[in-house]
Structure 1
Amino acid sequence: MEHIGRSSFQPGPAREIFIVDDDSSVCDALKLLLGVEGFGCRVFRDAESFLEALDHENPLCVVMDVQMPGYSGLEVLRILKARHFEAPVFMMSGRSDIAMAVEAMKTGAYDFIEKPFAAGMMIERIRAAVAAQTARDCGRVDGIPQFAEARLLTARERDVLSLIAKGASNKEAGRRLGISPRTIEVHRARIMDKLGAKNAADLMRIVLMNAGPKTRGQSAPEDMVAAD
């Protein structure tokens, strides 16, 4: 396993990362990797036991496989979406399937990671996701204006739109939120669809019309016109 610098973040014992995967080798590797980083972990070998645990506990984030016996990862995502579950959910799959990744994102996944994954990449994305979620919980992530159409967006889509509207590139927004640039692109496409924006310039017009003074003074970032 490659060496990863220890994170300065130390989650409390009541907030653990939940790992949901029927593959014991993957669970063991993730638990060891995250444990070295100072994260507490709980392992679930099936979706049913994971969902039951959510009745009593609130995880820091969730790392879940797509293919599992019983409920699949996508079915679990639909259940979590109906429950308005807010913690970041990372989906994993050994299949490189763009359609599956898009479906997972549409259903509420925070990010989609292909197996086998690099230890450094996994840790960095989880660190960033946890930091972003903690900031949101503490009210330290700037939101976008409270215009009517904004209510159609998920919390993650609002975060993405807020960063892009302030000039962040796909890569910068991805680093801030702990997700990949391609995932940012998926979120951006869904934002445009929900807000009825015909193109990037139209999306910026919608935001700027409802923005405060700070946002109005900014121009559209380059990657609103062309992806990185």
Structure 2
Amino acid sequence: MMARSMNPDQAIFIVDDDPAVRDALSVVFSLEGFDVETFENGDDFINALPNLPSACVLLDVHMPGRSGMDTLKALDPDHYPAPVFIISGQGDIPMAVAAVKSGAFDFIEKPFDAETVVARVREGIAVVKRRLEAGDSDHAEHPDLQLLTPREREVLEQITAGASNKEAGRTLGISPRTIEVHRARIMEKLGAKNAADLVRIVLSGPDHMDAR
């Protein structure tokens, strides 16, 4: 069977075992002009891949059978020429961070706002397309982690390990509100927009947080 004809810039695959989530996302992206295909589990998606074009993927973390992380690994995101987004609940953030470290482009927390999800997907598609056209796997200048204070580097380590503000504050002996302040400063200094950005910056940095 030949691969389906879809415009990869306007196509999306939604892999989620919750029919309500699949339906909601399908409606949202269809209204935005996307060609949408849904899958209720990771096995169905991976089995269909040979007959699908490379397009953006929204992948749920928790699914029966092949988990979201296992599906991500089978997809080989480092060599997949389209962004892969992990859908996670608030309690799944450490797993979502691990997914970004494994090659996912970003993670989207439940409950999510439809407008925000569409905007992030469009941005992800554009970013990955620019990277491929530039032929640059590193794709960005390394932000200087030395711009951070020692305390900010400690906070960054907690964030990229998947700790919540409360958990990071407990570990470092400071309040969650103080963690939020440090987090905002870190993101401003490094030009990051969210936790997934921070993870990618740390992974791409020349010192990988080793320097103190």
TM-score, with structure 2 as normaliser: 0.67
1:133 counterpart residue number: 128
Task: Describe how 1:17-166 pairs up with structure 2 within 5 A.
Answer: 17-81=12-76, 84-139=79-134, 143=136, 155=137, 158-159=138-139, 161-162=140-141, 164=143
1:91·1:113 contact (CA, 8 Å) conserved in 2? yes
2:204 counterpart residue number: 191
Structure 2 gap ranges (5+): 145-185
Shift of 1:56: 2.0
- Taking only the aligned residue pairs, the percentage that are identical comes to 35
Number of aligned positions between the proteins: 164
Shift of 1:94: 2.4
* AA at the equivalent of 1:183: A
Task: State the Cα deviation string for residues 139-190 of structure 1 (Å, max 9, x = none).
Answer: 3x8x4xxxxxxxxxxx3xx23x33747xxx956955xxxxx43212111222
* AA at the equivalent of 1:47: G
2:97·2:199 contact (CA, 8 Å) conserved in 1? yes
2-side partners of 1:135 and 1:120: how far apart? 23
Task: State the Cα deviation string for residues 108-163 of structure 1 (Å, max 9, x = none).
Answer: 11111111101121011001011122223333x8x4xxxxxxxxxxx3xx23x337
2:6·2:53 contact (CA, 8 Å) conserved in 1? no
Structure 1 gap ranges (5+): 1-11, 144-154, 175-179, 200-228
Shift of 1:84: 2.6
* Greater share of residues in helix: 2
Q: 1:61 to 1:47 in 2, by over 3 A?
A: same
2:147 counterpart residue number: none
1:13·1:40 contact (CA, 8 Å) conserved in 2? yes
1:90·1:110 contact (CA, 8 Å) conserved in 2? yes
- Residue 91 of structure 1: SS of its match in structure 2? strand
1:18·1:59 contact (CA, 8 Å) conserved in 2? no
2-side partners of 1:163 and 1:35: how far apart? 37
